[in-house]
Structure 1
Amino acid sequence: MTDDAATQARIDTTRPHTARIWNYWTGGKDNYAVDQEAGDRIRALHPGIGDYALADRRFLGRAVRHLAAEAGIRQFLDIGTGLPSADNTHEVAQRITPDARVVYVDNDPLVLVHARALLTGTPEGRTDYLDADLRDPDAILEQAAATLDFAEPVALMLLGVVIFVEDDDESRAVVRRLLEPLAPGSHLVLSHTITSPAMPDVDAAVAFWNENGTPRLTQRTPQEVTRYFDGLELLDPGVVSCNRWRPDPEDLTAPDEVAMYSGVGRKA
């Protein structure tokens, strides 16, 4: 069996999957009827879900533009890539600095199939993909070192992925381990679904997902999300609703708050 055939065999189309539902909400076509049905049920419970899916995607673009254009970052380690869409990390970075190197990491078989076909970069730069799990940071670091130079600053991208590590201590330990070998001047870019008394419909949507979909996810408060940046210099405006992190003018038309908080921190 070829690698692609083996990967295809791992794809379960009988249960909704978060990467495919996220793709559905953001207007993609790489999803199945089971994902669309679950996505519509979740949207009925939390009508704003599509807003924060798009807001998180736009945050990625703004953060990468800042890092590439203003912070001089030329290397990106993007874990929990999700299905390829418009303006992926390497596309944003390599438009600014064509020699940027990007390593994508995911363990979803459908993401792997599409990444092999679509995640290609500039001739000057390099774009690679690893089939690995966030819970195994040592394996990620070992494999990423074939493409990235950890003696130079790296942007560690963890957008909407730490939510899949249920234990708080374990999730923070994973982030610390991934940051440990990175050079001073490296940055952590992180977003996370929150829980808040002001957004009870989010809790209901997450509860539905955890009963029906895969993988399960964990919400955290904004204060708990901020703890992932302990020991780092947290860039302004701190950990905020992701559509409020240095918004472009068009982002100001979005809702004041979405249930996805984000921040960027610098390693001294």
Structure 2
Amino acid sequence: MDFDIDTETAHSARIYDYIIGGKDHFPADREAGDAMCREWPALPVHMRANRDFMHRAVRHLAREAGIRQFLDIGSGIPTSPNLHEIAQAAAPDSRVVYVDNDPLVLALSRDRLAGTPEGRTAYLEADMRDPAGILAAPAFRTTLDLDRPVALTVIAIVHFLLDEHDAVGIVRRLLDPLPSGSYLAMSIGTADFAPEEVGRVAREYAARGMPMRLRTDAEAAAFFTGLDLVDPGIVQVHRWHPDGTGTVVERDEDIAMYGAVARKP
């Protein structure tokens, strides 16, 4: 099957893949990633710490919270271990629906997202700005059972939603149909800790057609209104249930992402 992939224009998922050491990127993505790292040398540490947070959050949800269903929004280029690998290592019967709108992600996902025989993984090409379309899609409906709790994971993506997109409303419309006992796990871009450096990176993204909306701690908290936060609440991603593995973070200023997990009453 042919996919219409624009290799001449940098894409956020491929920039991320390049910076964390992946292999699915093109010269435009590498140029952009190098420019951003010159502006903020801590960017690779920041991005890897974000991915480590996803691993810990999913492991917690599968092991401690007993979640067996995951809806991953803005899944990005598959980089092992992927979300389903983390979840199914803890609970082989876990089911995962990945959602992204990059054709390259779609192409790669079909080859790389095979899960355990007991579980199931599906990939849905869709835009998170269309929650109704996601929730009505056959891949969603046939994979996840809305009579059982679902973990909605929204990792490192809402900073690409501007004020006019109503990011909080989008997340709420995805969460609302999920039953009581479901969870929301998010990481949310911020300039609270290194405003000048992160601001320069944001300008590099914007110059390539990817404007960003970075959020304060109070703005991050708005995503979790009405939910029960898991301790320690909303913190920088490297401070959420650290386990001594993964990326070493020496300074809080090197992390520009809040992370939290919360239960829907």
TM-score (normalised: structure 2): 0.95
Equivalent residue number for residue 132 of structure 2: 138
Identity %: 47
RMSD, aligned CA: 1.4
Decide which of 150, 160, 163 is 1:164's aligned counterpart: 160
Instruction: Return the alpha-carbon distance in structure 1 between the equivalents of residues 105 and 165 of structure 2.
Output: 28
Equivalent residue number for residue 59 of structure 1: 53
Letter in 1 for 2:205: W
Letter in 1 for 2:117: P
Equivalent residue number for residue 237 of structure 2: 242
Letter in 1 for 2:256: A
Q: Secondary structure at the match of 1:145?
A: helix
Equivalent residue number for residue 91 of structure 2: 97
Instruction: Return the alpha-carbon distance in structure 2 between the equivalents of residues 195 and 88 of structure 1.
Output: 27
Letter in 1 for 2:51: R
* Equivalent residues of 1:243, 1:251 under 8 A apart: no
Equivalent residue number for residue 205 of structure 1: 201
Q: Secondary structure at the match of 2:186?
A: strand
Q: Secondary structure at the match of 1:146?
A: helix
Decide which of 237, 253, 257 is 2:248's aligned counterpart: 253
* Equivalent residues of 1:64, 1:92 under 8 A apart: yes
- Residue 14, structure 1, aligned to residue 8, structure 2: yes
Q: Secondary structure at the match of 2:184?
A: strand
Letter in 1 for 2:228: E
Per-residue deviation at 1:169?
7.0
Equivalent residue number for residue 212 of structure 2: 217
Equivalent residue number for residue 173 of structure 2: 177
* Equivalent residues of 1:195, 1:259 under 8 A apart: yes
Decide which of 58, 80, 86 is 2:80's aligned counterpart: 86
Instruction: Return the alpha-carbon distance in structure 2 between the equivalents of residues 54 and 15 of structure 1.
Output: 23
Decide which of 40, 43, 46 is 1:49's aligned counterpart: 43
Structure 2: gaps (5+ residues): none
Equivalent residue number for residue 227 of structure 1: 222
Decide which of 173, 189, 194 is 1:193's aligned counterpart: 189
Per-residue deviation at 1:215?
3.4
* Equivalent residues of 2:97, 2:121 under 8 A apart: yes
Letter in 1 for 2:234: V
CA gap 1:197/1:25 in 2 versus in 1, 3 angstroms = closer
Letter in 1 for 2:88: Q
Q: Secondary structure at the match of 1:130?
A: strand
Instruction: Return the alpha-carbon distance in structure 2 between the equivalents of residues 100 and 248 of structure 1.
Output: 23
Q: Secondary structure at the match of 2:166?
A: helix
Per-residue deviation at 1:255?
2.8
Per-residue deviation at 1:75?
0.1
Equivalent residue number for residue 263 of structure 2: 266
Q: Secondary structure at the match of 1:265?
A: strand
Q: Secondary structure at the match of 1:250?
A: coil
* Equivalent residues of 1:187, 1:267 under 8 A apart: yes
